[in-house]
Amino acid sequence: MVSSASVFSTAKWLEAQSLLFKAVAVLFGSLILTAGSYITVPMVPVPITMQTFAITVVGAVYGWRLGGLTVLFWLMQGALGLPVFAPGAVGGIARFFGPTGGYLFSFPICAMLTGWMVEHGFSGRSFVKGFIAMLAGNILCLIIGGAWLAVMMGFAKGMALGVTPFIAGAFTKSVLGAAVLLGISAGTSRKHN
Protein backbone atom coordinates (compact mmCIF):
# COMPACT_ATOMS: atom_id res chain seq x y z
CA MET A 1 0.00 0.00 0.00
CA VAL A 2 1.27 3.46 -0.89
CA SER A 3 0.67 6.13 1.75
CA SER A 4 -1.15 9.28 0.72
CA ALA A 5 1.92 11.29 1.74
CA SER A 6 4.13 9.43 -0.72
CA VAL A 7 1.62 9.18 -3.58
CA PHE A 8 2.09 12.80 -4.51
CA SER A 9 5.80 12.68 -4.82
CA THR A 10 5.57 14.99 -7.84
CA ALA A 11 5.94 18.06 -5.62
CA LYS A 12 8.91 16.54 -3.78
CA TRP A 13 10.42 15.44 -7.08
CA LEU A 14 10.01 18.94 -8.56
CA GLU A 15 11.59 20.50 -5.45
CA ALA A 16 14.68 18.36 -6.01
CA GLN A 17 15.14 19.46 -9.64
CA SER A 18 17.47 22.16 -10.96
CA LEU A 19 16.45 25.80 -11.05
CA LEU A 20 16.24 25.61 -14.85
CA PHE A 21 13.90 22.62 -14.68
CA LYS A 22 11.71 24.41 -12.13
CA ALA A 23 11.60 27.50 -14.38
CA VAL A 24 10.43 25.33 -17.29
CA ALA A 25 7.82 23.72 -15.02
CA VAL A 26 6.55 27.17 -13.97
CA LEU A 27 6.33 28.25 -17.62
CA PHE A 28 4.50 25.03 -18.53
CA GLY A 29 2.14 25.50 -15.58
CA SER A 30 1.38 29.06 -16.69
CA LEU A 31 0.46 27.69 -20.13
CA ILE A 32 -1.94 25.24 -18.47
CA LEU A 33 -3.47 28.12 -16.50
CA THR A 34 -3.86 30.15 -19.69
CA ALA A 35 -5.52 27.19 -21.43
CA GLY A 36 -7.93 26.90 -18.48
CA SER A 37 -8.74 30.59 -18.86
CA TYR A 38 -9.76 30.10 -22.46
CA ILE A 39 -12.30 27.39 -21.66
CA THR A 40 -15.14 29.73 -20.79
CA VAL A 41 -18.86 30.35 -20.53
CA PRO A 42 -19.45 34.11 -20.78
CA MET A 43 -21.31 35.68 -17.86
CA VAL A 44 -21.40 39.18 -16.39
CA PRO A 45 -19.52 40.40 -14.40
CA VAL A 46 -17.54 37.15 -13.88
CA PRO A 47 -17.28 34.46 -16.59
CA ILE A 48 -17.27 30.75 -15.83
CA THR A 49 -13.85 29.37 -16.77
CA MET A 50 -11.70 26.35 -16.01
CA GLN A 51 -9.16 28.63 -14.30
CA THR A 52 -9.91 27.35 -10.81
CA PHE A 53 -9.69 23.76 -12.04
CA ALA A 54 -6.25 24.46 -13.53
CA ILE A 55 -5.15 26.42 -10.45
CA THR A 56 -6.07 23.68 -7.99
CA VAL A 57 -4.53 20.95 -10.15
CA VAL A 58 -1.29 22.93 -10.58
CA GLY A 59 -1.22 23.53 -6.82
CA ALA A 60 -1.82 19.85 -6.09
CA VAL A 61 0.74 18.51 -8.56
CA TYR A 62 3.43 21.16 -8.07
CA GLY A 63 3.03 21.50 -4.31
CA TRP A 64 2.15 24.61 -2.38
CA ARG A 65 5.41 26.48 -2.99
CA LEU A 66 5.96 25.89 -6.71
CA GLY A 67 2.20 25.87 -7.38
CA GLY A 68 1.80 29.28 -5.75
CA LEU A 69 4.85 30.61 -7.60
CA THR A 70 3.47 29.32 -10.90
CA VAL A 71 0.16 31.12 -10.36
CA LEU A 72 2.00 34.32 -9.38
CA PHE A 73 4.06 34.09 -12.58
CA TRP A 74 0.87 33.66 -14.62
CA LEU A 75 -0.76 36.64 -12.87
CA MET A 76 2.36 38.71 -13.55
CA GLN A 77 2.01 37.88 -17.25
CA GLY A 78 -1.57 39.13 -17.12
CA ALA A 79 -0.56 42.28 -15.23
CA LEU A 80 1.95 42.98 -18.00
CA GLY A 81 -0.87 42.81 -20.55
CA LEU A 82 -0.25 39.35 -22.01
CA PRO A 83 -3.47 37.58 -23.12
CA VAL A 84 -3.45 34.92 -20.40
CA PHE A 85 -6.89 35.58 -18.88
CA ALA A 86 -10.33 34.69 -20.25
CA PRO A 87 -10.90 35.52 -23.93
CA GLY A 88 -11.80 39.15 -24.40
CA ALA A 89 -10.46 40.01 -20.96
CA VAL A 90 -8.19 42.99 -21.16
CA GLY A 91 -4.88 42.35 -19.44
CA GLY A 92 -2.91 44.87 -17.49
CA ILE A 93 -2.84 45.94 -13.88
CA ALA A 94 -6.33 47.51 -14.08
CA ARG A 95 -7.78 44.00 -14.41
CA PHE A 96 -6.81 43.38 -10.79
CA PHE A 97 -9.04 46.20 -9.58
CA GLY A 98 -12.19 45.35 -11.54
CA PRO A 99 -14.98 42.89 -10.70
CA THR A 100 -12.72 39.83 -11.11
CA GLY A 101 -9.89 41.26 -9.00
CA GLY A 102 -10.82 39.30 -5.89
CA TYR A 103 -10.70 36.04 -7.80
CA LEU A 104 -7.33 36.95 -9.33
CA PHE A 105 -5.89 37.82 -5.91
CA SER A 106 -7.28 34.56 -4.50
CA PHE A 107 -5.71 32.31 -7.13
CA PRO A 108 -2.19 31.92 -5.67
CA ILE A 109 -3.68 31.39 -2.19
CA CYS A 110 -6.04 28.73 -3.60
CA ALA A 111 -3.17 26.92 -5.35
CA MET A 112 -1.10 27.05 -2.18
CA LEU A 113 -3.97 25.78 0.00
CA THR A 114 -4.69 22.90 -2.37
CA GLY A 115 -0.99 22.05 -2.65
CA TRP A 116 -0.54 22.18 1.11
CA MET A 117 -3.54 19.91 1.67
CA VAL A 118 -2.29 17.40 -0.89
CA GLU A 119 1.16 17.43 0.71
CA HIS A 120 -0.52 16.71 4.05
CA GLY A 121 -2.53 13.67 3.02
CA PHE A 122 -5.55 14.97 1.10
CA SER A 123 -4.70 13.13 -2.10
CA GLY A 124 -3.41 9.88 -3.35
CA ARG A 125 -5.60 6.88 -3.71
CA SER A 126 -8.56 8.51 -1.98
CA PHE A 127 -10.96 10.23 -4.35
CA VAL A 128 -12.76 11.77 -1.37
CA LYS A 129 -9.58 13.31 0.07
CA GLY A 130 -8.58 14.67 -3.34
CA PHE A 131 -12.09 16.08 -3.75
CA ILE A 132 -11.86 17.81 -0.35
CA ALA A 133 -8.52 19.43 -1.29
CA MET A 134 -9.89 20.61 -4.64
CA LEU A 135 -13.14 21.84 -3.11
CA ALA A 136 -11.26 23.79 -0.42
CA GLY A 137 -9.34 25.67 -3.13
CA ASN A 138 -12.51 26.35 -5.13
CA ILE A 139 -14.52 27.48 -2.10
CA LEU A 140 -11.71 29.79 -0.95
CA CYS A 141 -11.74 31.38 -4.41
CA LEU A 142 -15.49 31.96 -4.18
CA ILE A 143 -15.18 33.43 -0.68
CA ILE A 144 -12.44 35.91 -1.62
CA GLY A 145 -13.91 36.74 -5.04
CA GLY A 146 -17.41 37.08 -3.60
CA ALA A 147 -16.18 39.32 -0.78
CA TRP A 148 -14.45 41.54 -3.35
CA LEU A 149 -17.66 41.84 -5.36
CA ALA A 150 -19.69 42.45 -2.20
CA VAL A 151 -17.47 45.43 -1.40
CA MET A 152 -17.90 46.74 -4.95
CA MET A 153 -21.63 46.04 -5.41
CA GLY A 154 -23.15 45.28 -2.04
CA PHE A 155 -23.49 41.92 -0.32
CA ALA A 156 -26.65 40.60 -2.00
CA LYS A 157 -25.60 41.53 -5.52
CA GLY A 158 -22.02 40.30 -4.96
CA MET A 159 -23.27 36.91 -3.78
CA ALA A 160 -25.89 36.68 -6.53
CA LEU A 161 -23.41 37.48 -9.31
CA GLY A 162 -20.13 36.19 -7.90
CA VAL A 163 -20.84 33.15 -5.74
CA THR A 164 -24.22 31.48 -6.26
CA PRO A 165 -23.83 30.83 -10.02
CA PHE A 166 -20.45 29.20 -9.41
CA ILE A 167 -21.24 26.74 -6.60
CA ALA A 168 -22.25 23.86 -8.90
CA GLY A 169 -19.18 24.55 -11.04
CA ALA A 170 -16.95 24.45 -7.95
CA PHE A 171 -18.26 20.97 -7.12
CA THR A 172 -17.92 19.80 -10.73
CA LYS A 173 -14.35 21.13 -11.04
CA SER A 174 -13.50 19.51 -7.70
CA VAL A 175 -14.78 16.14 -8.93
CA LEU A 176 -12.73 16.51 -12.13
CA GLY A 177 -9.67 17.61 -10.15
CA ALA A 178 -9.97 14.65 -7.78
CA ALA A 179 -10.22 12.34 -10.81
CA VAL A 180 -7.04 13.88 -12.25
CA LEU A 181 -5.25 13.39 -8.91
CA LEU A 182 -6.43 9.79 -8.79
CA GLY A 183 -5.12 9.24 -12.33
CA ILE A 184 -1.76 10.80 -11.51
CA SER A 185 -1.60 8.76 -8.32
CA ALA A 186 -2.25 5.54 -10.23
CA GLY A 187 0.38 6.48 -12.82
CA THR A 188 3.05 7.31 -10.25
CA SER A 189 2.22 4.19 -8.22
CA ARG A 190 2.74 1.99 -11.28
CA LYS A 191 6.12 3.60 -11.94
CA HIS A 192 7.27 2.92 -8.37
CA ASN A 193 6.02 -0.69 -8.18
Total domain count for the chain?
Answer: 1
Distance CA 167, CA 171 (A): 7
Q: What is the pLDDT of residue 4?
A: 45
pLDDT higher than 70, residue 193? no
Residue 193 lies in a domain: no
At residue 106, does pLDDT exceed 90? yes
pLDDT grade for 86, boundaries at 50, 70 and 90: confident
Among 109, 88, 94, CA closest to 46: 88
The answer to whether position 51 is within a domain reads: yes
CATH code, domain carrying 42: 1.10.1760.20
**Rounded to whole angstroms, how far apart are CA atoms 103 and 188?**
32
| CA distances (Å), origin 128, targets 123, 131, 134, 167, 183 | 8, 5, 10, 18, 14
Tell me how far CA of residue 141 lies from CA of 12, 82, 108, 145, 190, in angstroms: 25, 22, 10, 6, 33
Least confident of 3-17, 76-90, 132-146, 170-184: 3-17
Reported as a single tens digit per residue, the pLDDT across 125-181 is: 789 999 999 999 999 999 999 999 999 999 999 999 999 999 999 999 999 999 999
Query: Could you tell me if residue 28 is inside a domain?
Result: yes
Q: Residue 6's pLDDT band (boundaries 50, 70, 90)?
A: very low
| Residue 62 resides in a domain | yes
In a domain, 137, yes or no: yes
> Residue 49 domain-assigned?
yes
Q: Which residue has the higher pLDDT, 115 or 41?
A: 115
Share of the chain above pLDDT 70, in %: 89
Structural domain range at position 151 = 4-188
